[in-house]
Amino acid sequence: MESSLALGRLELTPGSAPVEVSLAPLLPGAPQAKEKSGQRQGGPPQGRPHLHGCVPLSHQVAGHKYGVDKVGILQHPDGTVLKQLQPPPRGPREMQFYSMVYAEDCCDPCLLELQNHLPKYYGTWSSPDSPNDLYLKLEDVTRRFKKPCIMDVKLGQRSYDPYASQEKREQQIRKYPLMEEIGFLVLGMRVYKVCSDTCDSYDQHYGRGLGKDTVKDGLAKFFHNGASLRKDAVLASIWRVQRILRWVRVPATAHLFASSLLFVYEGLPSSSARPQELTEYNNNNNIQVAMAWDYSLDAMYTTIERQPSPVCQGSSPWQQRSQYHCGKHEEEEEEEEEGGGDAQVEVRMIDFAHVFPSDSHDQGYIYGLKHLLTVLEQILCDAS
């Protein structure tokens, strides 16, 4: 399968048959900073419904919002997320990226591993009334959570791609001058508060206000439920980000400009914890972790040697990755068996409108991942 991710070589090819639905009505306004927590999770989306049940995604924390921007995100009645395709070349590039990673005949071990870090992709979707308005049909990563806490973090030392105009570059730098130094930016977050049964929301302006001295405390807000810090969620997030870093450090990787990590954890305390135990549960004073904390982060930053694999060798920039073994290492399997990957926490890579194949590492993205891990580690250590 030849990659066509480079600019000027993209083709629009819908991957699935249209579904009958109309997208006429729009919802005005933006979400409130604080909302009462209801029974949205696991049920039909809230808000005035569109024809056949499609509605704007109620728990979206960042990005283009339907009814506010020209493009936006909807939720389908089947629970999937519909991300409206952006204008060329961004939209077609993102669609082709998902189509390549989730191709039925994909046998590249590196791309197959990448599927574990992305939302599931179900092809493209469009309305019979507007067949040219394409949407990416994606998994709603938050759907299985009862009280999802959600955070969108943009990664990398710059948020524009090599083809951006000088005006675009200057605009992005003005938005957050510290991007190159910090390596990541909180675009938005939604945090469930157990005591008040409400959700606090923070937008991109909150993230842009975080500096070198405040980014740690600013990020820690995402893991604080109003009563205590969820150290279990911090630890599980670290474990998942480490896995993504391992994948990114494989040779012959891609450059991911303006891409994000979507963090989700269950805000509702475990039902097995009795009321008098909730404070201790949330503080995790005696938490039993599968991965010992002396498991050095520095070890994760060293280049991992890969053994050649004869499977599905190809000539495209992406398929050249398959020359290296991307399967699970023994230590990863042991961590999973011991419960290192908490089922109550998700960290997924999202937003691929500015992804380009490359024969070199994306040092800016790696820098952002490493600094994000360092900050998460500091949050956990300060709470110990």
Please list the alpha-helical segments (H only) found in the chain: 90-101, 109-114, 166-175, 179-182, 204-208, 215-220, 231-248, 278-283, 297-301, 330-337, 363-383
- The span from the first CA to the last CA of the chain, in angstroms, equals 49
Supply the range of the domain harboring residue 81.
34-138
- Which residues, other chains included, contact 9 with Cβ-Cβ below 8 Å and sequence gap of 6+? none
| Main-chain phi, psi angles of 50, to 5 degrees | -80, 170
Tell me whether residue 121 is in a domain.
yes
- Which residues, other chains included, contact 85 with Cβ-Cβ below 8 Å and sequence gap of 6+? 71, 91, 92, 94, 95, 124, 133, 134, 135, 136
Q: What is the CATH number of the domain that holds 187?
A: 3.30.470.160
Instruction: Write down which residue in 96, 117, 138 finishes a domain.
Output: 138
Tell me whether residue 8 is in a domain.
no
CA angle 64, 68, 73 (to 5 degrees): 40
Tell me whether residue 3 is in a domain.
no
CA gyration radius for the chain? 21
Q: How many residues does the chain have?
A: 384
10 Å CB burial of residue 131 (0-12, 13-18, 19+) is exposed
Per-residue confidence of the chain (384 residues) as pLDDT tens digits? 444 333 333 333 334 333 333 333 333 333 445 555 544 444 444 445 554 668 888 888 987 676 676 567 899 999 999 999 999 999 999 999 999 999 999 999 999 999 999 999 999 998 877 788 899 999 999 999 999 999 999 999 999 999 999 999 999 999 999 999 999 999 999 999 999 999 999 999 999 999 999 999 999 999 999 999 999 999 999 999 999 999 998 865 689 999 999 999 999 987 644 444 343 333 333 333 333 333 344 443 333 333 333 344 444 455 554 444 565 555 555 555 444 566 699 999 999 999 998 888 999 999 999 999 999 999 999 998
Instruction: Write down which residue in 138, 158, 178 finishes a domain.
Output: 138
